[in-house]
Structure 1
């Protein structure tokens, strides 16, 4: 009898231990306890002004049902098709989540400049969530925002770093490489200024760049660096250090500038006010020593006062002996754009490769009527797989792929872009932000 009693006690102890070990807080439960309860319910509590304004009382146990799949009270966000937290999952779900727009401090400049009608960022002031909290919430949303189950590791919450808003700061020259500088220039009120300035790199042999930094004053639509095609006649190259306007102040295009653009070869660029992009070890862009770089700056000033633009670029270089793969530029575009008035139009175009390539980066470029920009794989075992998506024309994400996307001969990528033209006139391809574009940039190696 004593033997059975001992056995019963042992089984009871171990079964109790097993039950404790298998009981783990759900990811949503952790968000409620360690993020909402510590950073949000001071304001979002029953009866508070913030709760009345937003409709969110996050101090209650049913806060999940108030957040997930629910339309926001904010009219602008609702019109933009956002829900407070989307269940679509992946990068699309993240982009459709109003909560992520409100808390993602690292996208603060985009939020404040492009969506002022969305209200203030949360938590208010400069009480940003930690990097760990942001990544934990992001992982949950990308997993479809489930109420039950564990979809993110709590180790993420150990990262206590926080975002601190940067100011425009001139870049320090690279230890090894080249710095370019477009000195302060004026952009007239209610005008889009876009110009080019050809800059001598002063190199005697080809150089290899594995890191690009760009820093711009606020107000930039884009900044692009171009080289020139190999078979250009030297007499067609622009003069060094002379600004070439794309449009005059009366809006008329500069024919000479348009003529020089037909010889361009895209090198790098961004729509973000600051970029610091590093290629993987052993991968680098090659810059032809026969050419300089044509700096293309486009600022949009929709105010009644003069805007000042300025751009710094650092090109960090490595020795040729360190380069295993030469990164080649993706610059695939569809210029056959016709958007009928008062209609939503979806266009697509496919691009195929005749050899095996490895795609390491993709990012889109379109203008203000773009509502959705998708890229899918065409052909092979991954046919139809979504590899890029954005609904943000002003600051599209720059997606890096590790490992790279392998495309075999005969396979490719298809761009699918949706536009909404509310005007009474058709819109076509063009260089102004009120025209449209459909371009996929990136790099690959063979």
Structure 2
């Protein structure tokens, strides 16, 4: 949900205007009174939802930790290592560390503070105390100049535990407050303890940052969400670069559960200083009361690599202060979600680009009696509705990207070029389209994964015209739905990226993939304009040949009309052929591939696209798997049914009961001798949904439970795979 767009769209003025004119609205009659009352109710609810219980993590956790593991050993009056004496009251110690530069020159040169509020990976005390929890990309691996880890391990001094480190990290994300309260982010201490003691959903695999000298990586997280919790935060991020620069690429990775990430820039340093450090929970009231001081840069609703066209770039000052907006729900009803966001920012020297790429986030902005709407704040009664609004662009713009955004009641979103008279002209964006994968009409609007359309070449909108946006909604609930920040509210907006003035030529490859299998044929690349020069590893006679490039990451270039487009391509190795096994009447193969397709006697089995398959007849079965675009087929497996009194098996004793089940299923197995054990639950298409066990176990009988409902998963068919000392058994289970 692109809610923090409220900064860019002057919601503060609009909400204050609503309050100033409330008597006028009431005089207009019943309908507009509903608008005002709905808004007041929305503000009240949002304000209430931002208030959290008191936590006191500094007094509860951080200060006692400093006293027991720092002041007691090497940071006291008699032994002030690093010129740092950490004895004294909680307030005294706080004043010695928060916002204070370290004595270490190497840390000073990186802009570190002992504790940098809002920035755990610029907080030297935390990095010095790291015991393997913090990644090297975040500064968790000290350089020789930064000294040794603290406290000095051995001699009775123990390193910080993961729980202790996490408490400090989350305290810093909270803005490193001395006393917590109000409506700010407050650390849930018990949630951290539960996660490190009992586990939760898996951590996101971390991408590598840009190569040194060509960019940097921003990491937000981990942040911990309780089961079924939904959060949205802002946090400011100072760049502190010595010179201005340009950004030609932004590629992001975030949890699949994420609703959106939006990147803003503060207009100036004074604007940034007007907001506090650390995570700021978002609601209508907090957003409305923030100054109107942000400039929209880019937004993501899923992982997208934004590589700007050749000759264009974002232009950023060296002292730019970013505002990061992240919204993520935890769909699991039973597991804690650790969530992360990684943004790779690729840079080039200032002045390299010919034209500046600009961005706009445009919300519906109209006043209507029915459905009730005042500016961007609209209300949808139950039923179907169509909202239409114009965007006046001013000077000539050259569109490069458009994408839309609604919540779950959105059923379509179209954009048209506006005619001189203000009507709808050519449709240039269709909400039913999938422009990314099949370039086809899906027949419906996927609000969770809305279309993203790139105009290559650019699409010019003449000066003095603009776009018409039209969205359709079907409020299937029994209640009125208002504009709001959660997925149960609604929004209507689109994002545009464009240049201004006369367009430069578009030079690029419009259908190039991020990766190819090493065994793949040379792809037929769409080069615009034709006649340019393609060069780089693997380019043979004007074509990119994956096998010639070899396995690994490569940069290829396309040059025409004085411009060069650069692409990073990964060539993947061909995977090993999968093996098929039989257990409890089910055929199964190895997990970890992207796609599966089963065959019987060489004929494709329709719908058999999971990791398991129930054979219907004796004969030869094969499975074809795909990984990173590479496809490989298994050897045939001869299935020969056995009688009920002589079942096939491999000696692994596994029992599941009850089955089918309603709430929880028991999974019991026997380990006869000490051995590695792994128990994994898969959904009906073979995607792993939970790992119950992955450790070495001693001889005994073990029982674990699984509930799809408690994980926020639908009822239906699942598979239990138990592997003991290399021997695997599979059972199909059904939750009703």
Query: 1:422: how far off?
Result: 1.6
Query: 1:302: how far off?
Result: 3.0
State the alpha-carbon separation in 2 of the partners of residues 425 and 440 from structure 1: 26
Could you tell me the TM-score, scaled by structure 2's length? 0.35
Within the alignment, does 1:435 sit opposite 2:476 as a pair?
A: no
**Does the 8 Å contact 2:239/2:319 carry over to 1?**
no
Within the alignment, does 1:385 sit opposite 2:426 as a pair?
A: yes
Specify the alignment match of 1:108 in structure 2: none
Query: 1:342: how far off?
Result: 2.0
Specify the alignment match of 1:287 in structure 2: 316
Specify the alignment match of 1:60 in structure 2: none
Within the alignment, does 1:246 sit opposite 2:276 as a pair?
A: no
Query: 1:327: how far off?
Result: 0.6
Specify the alignment match of 1:269 in structure 2: 299
Determine helix, strand or coil for the equivalent of 2:304. Answer: strand
Within the alignment, does 1:327 sit opposite 2:383 as a pair?
A: no
If each structure's strand is expressed as a fraction of its own residues, which one has the higher value?
2
Within the alignment, does 1:213 sit opposite 2:251 as a pair?
A: yes
Query: 1:231: how far off?
Result: 8.7
State the alpha-carbon separation in 2 of the partners of residues 371 and 319 from structure 1: 43
**Does the 8 Å contact 1:341/1:422 carry over to 2?**
no
Within the alignment, does 1:408 sit opposite 2:462 as a pair?
A: yes
Map of 1:301-340 to 2, 5 A cutoff? Answer: 301-304=330-333, 305-334=335-364, 336-340=376-380
**Does the 8 Å contact 1:347/1:418 carry over to 2?**
yes
State the alpha-carbon separation in 2 of the partners of residues 218 and 234 from structure 1: 30
Specify the alignment match of 1:222 in structure 2: 260
- CA distance 1:289–1:439, change in 2 (3 Å): farther
State the alpha-carbon separation in 1 of the partners of residues 390 and 243 from structure 2: 36
If each structure's helix is expressed as a fraction of its own residues, which one has the higher value?
1
Determine helix, strand or coil for the equivalent of 2:487. Answer: coil
**Does the 8 Å contact 1:340/1:427 carry over to 2?**
yes
- CA distance 1:209–1:445, change in 2 (3 Å): same
Query: 1:191: how far off?
Result: 2.1
Question: Equivalent of 1:172, from 184, 208, 219?
Answer: 208
Query: 1:387: how far off?
Result: 1.3
Query: 1:403: how far off?
Result: 1.3
State the alpha-carbon separation in 1 of the partners of residues 486 and 291 from structure 2: 15
- CA distance 1:234–1:170, change in 2 (3 Å): closer
Query: 1:398: how far off?
Result: 1.8
Higher relative contact order (CA 8 A, sep 6+): 1
**Does the 8 Å contact 1:367/1:394 carry over to 2?**
yes
- CA distance 1:261–1:373, change in 2 (3 Å): farther
**Does the 8 Å contact 2:394/2:466 carry over to 1?**
no
**Does the 8 Å contact 2:272/2:321 carry over to 1?**
no
Specify the alignment match of 2:220 in structure 1: 182
**What are the Cα deviations for residues 275-323 of structure 1, in whole angstroms up to 9, with x where unaligned?**
2111111110122334321111111123213222111000101222320
Map of 1:99-138 to 2, 5 A cutoff? Answer: none
**Does the 8 Å contact 2:258/2:329 carry over to 1?**
yes
**Does the 8 Å contact 2:400/2:498 carry over to 1?**
yes
Query: 1:421: how far off?
Result: 0.8
Specify the alignment match of 1:375 in structure 2: 415
**Structure with bigger gyration radius:** 2
**Does the 8 Å contact 2:238/2:319 carry over to 1?**
no
Within the alignment, does 1:300 sit opposite 2:332 as a pair?
A: no
**What are the Cα deviations for residues 203-225 of structure 1, in whole angstroms up to 9, with x where unaligned?**
13332111110001221000111
Determine helix, strand or coil for the equivalent of 2:290. Answer: helix
State the alpha-carbon separation in 2 of the partners of residues 238 and 290 from structure 1: 18
**Does the 8 Å contact 1:245/1:257 carry over to 2?**
no
Question: Equivalent of 1:259, from 267, 285, 289?
Answer: 289
Structure 1: stretches of 5+ with no match in the other structure: 1-166, 248-252
Specify the alignment match of 2:200 in structure 1: none
Could you tell me the TM-score, scaled by structure 1's length? 0.57
**Does the 8 Å contact 1:338/1:426 carry over to 2?**
no
**Does the 8 Å contact 1:169/1:215 carry over to 2?**
no
- CA distance 1:377–1:432, change in 2 (3 Å): same
Aligned length: 271
Determine helix, strand or coil for the equivalent of 1:439. Answer: strand
Specify the alignment match of 1:200 in structure 2: 238
Query: 1:257: how far off?
Result: 5.3
Query: 1:435: how far off?
Result: 1.1
Map of 1:24-173 to 2, 5 A cutoff? Answer: 168-173=204-209
**Does the 8 Å contact 1:375/1:413 carry over to 2?**
yes
Segment of structure 1 superposing worse, 431-440 or 196-205: 196-205
RMSD of the alignment, in Å? 2.3
Question: Equivalent of 2:480, from 407, 411, 426?
Answer: 426
**Does the 8 Å contact 1:178/1:201 carry over to 2?**
no
**What are the Cα deviations for residues 104-151 of structure 1, in whole angstroms up to 9, with x where unaligned?**
xxxxxxxxxxxxxxxxxxxxxxxxxxxxxxxxxxxxxxxxxxxxxxxx
State the alpha-carbon separation in 2 of the partners of residues 233 and 308 from structure 1: 31
Query: 1:230: how far off?
Result: 4.2
State the alpha-carbon separation in 2 of the partners of residues 177 and 419 from structure 1: 41
